[in-house]
Amino acid sequence: MTVTFKNIPIFYTDNGVGKPVVLLHGFLENSTMWDAFLPELTKKNRIICIDLLGHGQTGCLGYLHTMEQMAEAVEAVLKHLNITQSIIIGHSMGGYVALAFAEKNPQRLHGLCLMNSTALPDTDEKKQNRDRAIMAVKQNYKTFIRIAVKNLFRPKNRIIFAEKIKEITEQALKTPLQGIIAALEGMKIRPNNVHILKNPGFKKMMIISKKDPALDYSSLIAQTRNTNVKIVGFPDGHMSHIENKNDFLLQIKHFVDFI
């Protein structure tokens, strides 16, 4: 299904009945990343999966998609569905979008889960890496995606999940060049949102991984100090929904049930 936002289609799926839970994918992913979890999650809940700007079946607005614009697209879907309050779970970039949504609409949240994501902005080094990534994707789109996807996994898991990596890569290759560049530009300029983790108005959880190649474990722990954020730690990489699939599902169910 789609809803029109600023003259482009925003694709979403809406399954199940009950507590509304919004699932937001990460960079180079799309809403299909949640497919394996829908049979279990829809038993008690209404699950909305959204393709973010420039990903999946959702269109591009330009060559810069800020996290705030992506959050506005999420807001458009929820308004279309008459959902006034929900739980949002965001993987990586999806977590940045969830934070942008929380900054503007804290009263519309029952819960926020950052999954292999961070409330901190990009460091100067990370911003430089984004610029390098933009150059790399312009030069060789397919090579960039293949390397980028593989590098999200813990090194030993790149062999264990070789078939799954191939499948994810095929999905990632459907992401248009414009969408990739626009997301990289948007992530690069996102603000510091650590203050949102201190908001007492809704439940919060962070899923973090000790061997995450994309995020520093100690930094993730540090940003939750003096907050009531529940921390769930996994031993592997950036792709908790694959590398720690069963435990991930269990923790998500507990979080949603608890709210």
Superfamily for the 2-258 domain: Alpha/Beta hydrolase fold, catalytic domain (3.40.50.1820)
At 190 the three-state DSSP class reads coil
Q: What is the pLDDT of residue 89?
A: 98
Q: What is the pLDDT of residue 245?
A: 98
- Radius of gyration for the alpha carbons in the chain, expressed in angstroms and rounded: 17
Residues of the chain scoring pLDDT < 50: none
Rounded Cα distance between 257 and 113, Å, is 13
Burial of 218 per CB tally in 10 Å (0-12, 13-18, 19+): exposed
HSE-up of 89 (CA within 13 Å, CB side)? 25
Q: What is the pLDDT of residue 239?
A: 98
Q: What is the pLDDT of residue 174?
A: 96
Per-residue pLDDT tens digits for 40-86: 999 999 999 999 999 999 999 999 999 999 999 999 999 999 999 99
Q: What is the pLDDT of residue 135?
A: 97
Domain spans of the chain, in order of start: 2-258
Does the pTM of the predicted model rise above 0.95?
Answer: yes
Per-residue pLDDT tens digits for 112-139: 999 999 999 999 999 999 999 999 999 9
- Tokens standing for residue 107: 């009263």
Q: What is the pLDDT of residue 178?
A: 98
